[in-house]
C-alpha cells in the first residue's frame, strides 16, 4: 500500500580529501558556489549513491548503471519480474517507485513524478578546493617488440574537508501513482546512510555519514517545515559562530559542532502535526540542541551508529 504520511528528512555527511561531486563540463572541478565558497552536490549524485547501495543489497532497480538500451533493460526486467506491462514492471523497481521514471517504448509512454525529491546538497561552511597534479605511466610495445613506457600528466581536484547537508521530502500524493510504501521509505533511510559510507572510489573515498533526522507527520497533514538544511549550521567547539576563513580551515568534525537550534524551533512549531522523529548520529559528531529536541513531547526513534 502506498505511504500516506508525509516525511521530511535532512542528512549531513562529511567529505575528506575527496571530490564531493565533480562537474564534467568544468574539468571535474567540484560543483561550487563562487559567491559563498560552498561546495554543491546535485540531487542526481545523491540518488546515484542510493541506487548503487540498492544494487549491492540485491534490490531490483530500473537504472542499474550498465550501458544498455531501454529495450534491453526492459526485457531483462520482464524476465526478473515475470511481468509484461511496463507499469507493472516499473512498479517492481524501488528506484522507480521512490524517484519516479520516464518511460517511452513501443506503445507504452508514461512519466511518474518521484514521491521523494532531494534538494541540491550544500556544504555548511566555506570550503577550500585544491588542484592536484600527478603523473601516470603505462607500457606500450615498440616497433621491434620492445617495451616502451609512456607517461602523461593528470589533473584532479579535492576538498580537504566539507560537511555537506542534504534536504529531502517524501510526498504522499505522488506515491499513489508509483506505489511507494512506508517500507520503501524506511529502506531509503538506511540506504542513504550506508551508501554514503560505502562510497569507496578514488575520488569519493572518505565520505562519512554524520547526522540524519527524519520527521513523519500525522495522517492528513499536507504542510511542511521546509528547507530543513537551512536550519542547521556549523559552529565552533565553544558554540561560537565561524567566519568564512575559519570555515575554510576546518579539517574534521573534531574541530566543530552541528547546531540544530533553528531546526528544533521549526519542529516545535509543528509539534502537534508530527507523529514521530527518527534520529541518527555518527562519525563522532557533536550536536548542539540535541537535548532540547529529546525533551520535546514527540516520539523519537534513535538509531545508534
The residue range of the domain holding 228 is 7-43+113-126+158-303
Per-residue pLDDT band for 149 (boundaries 50, 70, 90) equals low
Average pLDDT over residues 212-225: 98
Q: Is residue 194 part of a domain?
A: yes
pLDDT at position 286 is: 97
Could you read off the pLDDT of 18-36 as tens digits, one per residue? Answer: 999 999 999 999 999 999 9
The string of DSSP letters for 151-199 reads EEEEEEEEEEEEEEEEEEEE-HHHHHHH--BHHHHHHHHHHHHHHHHT-
Q: Is the pLDDT of residue 80 over 70?
A: yes
Q: Is residue 56 part of a domain?
A: no
User: Is the pLDDT score of 304 beyond 70?
Assistant: yes
Question: Which whole number is the average pLDDT over 271-299?
Answer: 96
Please compute Rg for the chain using Cα positions: 22
Q: How far is the C-alpha of 225 from the C-alpha of 272, rounded, in Å? A: 12
Between 304 and 297, name the one with better pLDDT.
Answer: 297
Q: How far apart are CA 161 and CA 240, in angstroms?
A: 19
Q: Provide the mean pLDDT of the chain.
A: 94
Does residue 138 surpass a pLDDT of 90? no
Residue 203 within a domain: yes
Of the pLDDT bands very low, low, confident and very high (cuts 50, 70, 90), residue 133 is: confident
Within-domain flag for 80: no
| Whether pLDDT at 14 is above 90 | yes
pLDDT at 201: 83
Q: What's the pLDDT at 171?
A: 98
Number of domains in the chain: 1
Binned at pLDDT 50, 70 and 90, residue 254 comes out as very high
Res 191: pLDDT: 98
**What sign does the CA torsion over 58, 62, 63, 64 have?**
positive
Q: Is residue 132 in a domain?
A: no
User: Mean pLDDT, to the nearest integer, of 149-174?
Assistant: 89
**Cell 500516506 belongs to residue:** 4
The pLDDT score that the predictor gives to residue 247 is: 97
Q: Is 304 helix (H, G, I), strand (E, B) or coil?
A: coil
pLDDT in tens, 200-215: 887 788 899 999 999 9
Is it the case that residue 141 has pLDDT exceeding 80? no
Answer whether residue 166 is part of any domain.
yes
Please check whether residue 97 lies inside any domain of the structure. no
Between 98 and 146, residue with greater pLDDT? 98
User: 46 Cβ partners below 8 Å, 6+ apart?
Assistant: 118, 121, 166, 192
Min mean pLDDT across 49-58, 96-105, 196-205 is at: 196-205
- What number of other Cβ atoms are within 10 A of residue 210's Cβ? 22
Q: Give 258's pLDDT tier (boundaries 50, 70, 90).
A: very high
Residue 59 falls inside a structural domain: no
Given this model, what pLDDT does residue 204 score?
82
Collapse the DSSP code of 201 into the 3-class scheme (helix H, G, I; strand E, B; otherwise coil) and give the result: coil
Amino acid at each position: 500500500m502506498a505511504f500516506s504520511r508525509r516525511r521530511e528528512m535532512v542528512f549531513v555527511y562529511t567529505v575528506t580529501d575527496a571530490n564531493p561531486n565533480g562537474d564534467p563540463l568544468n574539468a571535474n572541478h567540484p560543483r561550487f558556489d563562487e559567491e559563498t565558497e560552498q561546495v554543491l552536490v546535485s540531487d542526481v549524485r545523491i540518488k546515484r549513491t542510493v541506487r548503487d547501495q540498492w544494487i549491492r543489497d540485491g534490490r531490483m532497480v530500473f537504472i542499474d548503471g550498465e550501458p544498455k538500451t531501454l529495450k534491453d533493460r526492459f526485457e531483462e526486467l520482464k524476465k526478473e519480474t515475470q511481468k509484461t506491462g511496463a507499469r507493472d514492471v516499473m512498479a517492481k523497481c524501488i528506484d522507480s517507485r521512490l524517484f519516479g521514471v520516464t518511460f517511452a517504448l513501443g506503445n507504452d509512454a508514461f512519466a511518474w513524478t518521484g514521491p521523494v525529491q532531494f534538494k541540491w546538497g550544500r556544504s555548511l561552511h566555506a570550503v577550500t578546493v585544491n588542484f592536484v597534479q600527478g603523473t601516470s605511466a603505462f607500457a606500450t610495445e615498440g616497433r621491434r617488440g620492445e617495451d616502451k613506457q609512456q607517461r602523461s600528466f593528470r589533473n584532479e581536484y579535492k576538498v580537504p574537508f566539507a560537511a555537506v547537508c542534504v534536504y529531502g521530502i517524501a510526498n504522499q500524493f505522488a506515491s499513489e501513482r508509483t506505489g511507494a510504501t512506508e517500507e520503501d521509505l524506511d529502506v531509503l533511510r538506511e540506504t542513504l546512510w550506508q551508501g554514503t559510507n560505502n562510497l569507496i572510489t578514488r575520488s569519493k573515498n572518505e565520505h562519512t555519514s554524520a547526522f540524519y533526522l527524519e520527521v513523519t507527520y500525522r495522517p492528513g497533514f499536507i504542510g511542511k517545515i521546509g528547507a530543513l538544511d537551512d536550519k542547521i549550521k556549523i559552529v565552533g567547539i565553544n558554540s561560537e559562530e565561524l567566519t568564512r576563513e575559519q570555515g575554510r580551515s576546518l579539517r574534521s568534525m573534531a574541530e566543530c559542532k552541528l547546531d540544530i537550534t533553528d531546526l528544533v524551533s521549526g519542529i516545535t512549531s509543528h509539534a502537534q502535526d508530527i507523529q514521530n522523529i527518527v534520529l541518527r548520529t555518527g562519525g563522532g559528531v557533536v550536536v548542539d540542541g540535541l537535548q532540547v529536541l529529546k525533551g520535546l513531547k514527540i516520539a523519537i526513534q534513535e538509531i545508534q551508529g
